[in-house]
């Protein structure tokens, strides 16, 4: 459940943020956040699943040789089996999965910041609170830019 909330949290926050301006801008921001989260979490999940599949082949070969191991595998619940498969994966597969997951987390965080800034800037531009001095307040037209 926490993974689902992590995936949709920026998406839902886009609708609640009053600084985002129009409803259309909020919807655009939410869709970009959802796409960013979906791609990131899918890639990380695929890396972990790949390591699990490598470990599964190793465990299955060991179970074919040792019937007692095969009997233990049949009695295990699916979650314990998955962790056993991940534990049996070679070190390089575990490191690769961890590296891909970490890299995807960094990319996700970077893109989330860029998306937020883009749609906040767009909202400021639309309601004419955007100016070049970065203060975000309306300045009289008679006052020159420093």
* pLDDT tens by residue, 42-61: 999 999 999 999 998 988 88
> How confident is the model over 16-45, as a mean pLDDT?
87
| Greater pLDDT, 63 or 49 | 49
DSSP 8-state code for residue 76: S
- How large a percentage of the chain has pLDDT more than 70? 81
CB neighbours (10 Å) of residue 81? Answer: 17
| Chain position carrying tokens 């595998």 | 73
The two structure tokens encoding residue 79: 């979650």
| Chain position carrying tokens 């070049």 | 132
Residues near 17 by beta carbon (within 8 Å), at least 6 away in sequence: 26
Of the pLDDT bands very low, low, confident and very high (cuts 50, 70, 90), residue 80 is confident
Full-model pTM: 0.68
The two structure tokens encoding residue 101: 């997951």
Residue 41 has pLDDT above 60, yes or no: yes
């Amino acid at each position: 459940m926490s993974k689902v909330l992590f995936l949709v949290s920026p998406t839902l926050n886009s609708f609640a943020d009053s600084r985002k301006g129009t409803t259309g801008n909020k919807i655009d921001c939410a869709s970009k956040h959802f796409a960013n989260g979906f791609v990131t979490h899918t890639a990380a999940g695929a890396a972990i699943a790949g390591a699990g599949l490598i470990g599964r082949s190793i465990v299955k070969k060991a179970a074919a040789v040792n019937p007692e191991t095969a009997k233990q595998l049949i009695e295990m619940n699916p979650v314990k089996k998955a962790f056993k498969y991940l534990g049996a994966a070679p070190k390089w597969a575990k490191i690769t999965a961890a590296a891909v997951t970490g890299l995807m987390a960094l990319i996700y965080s970077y893109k989330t910041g860029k998306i937020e800034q883009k749609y906040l800037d767009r909202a400021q531009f639309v309601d004419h609170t955007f100016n070049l001095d970065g203060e975000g307040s309306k300045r009289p037209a008679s006052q020159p830019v420093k």
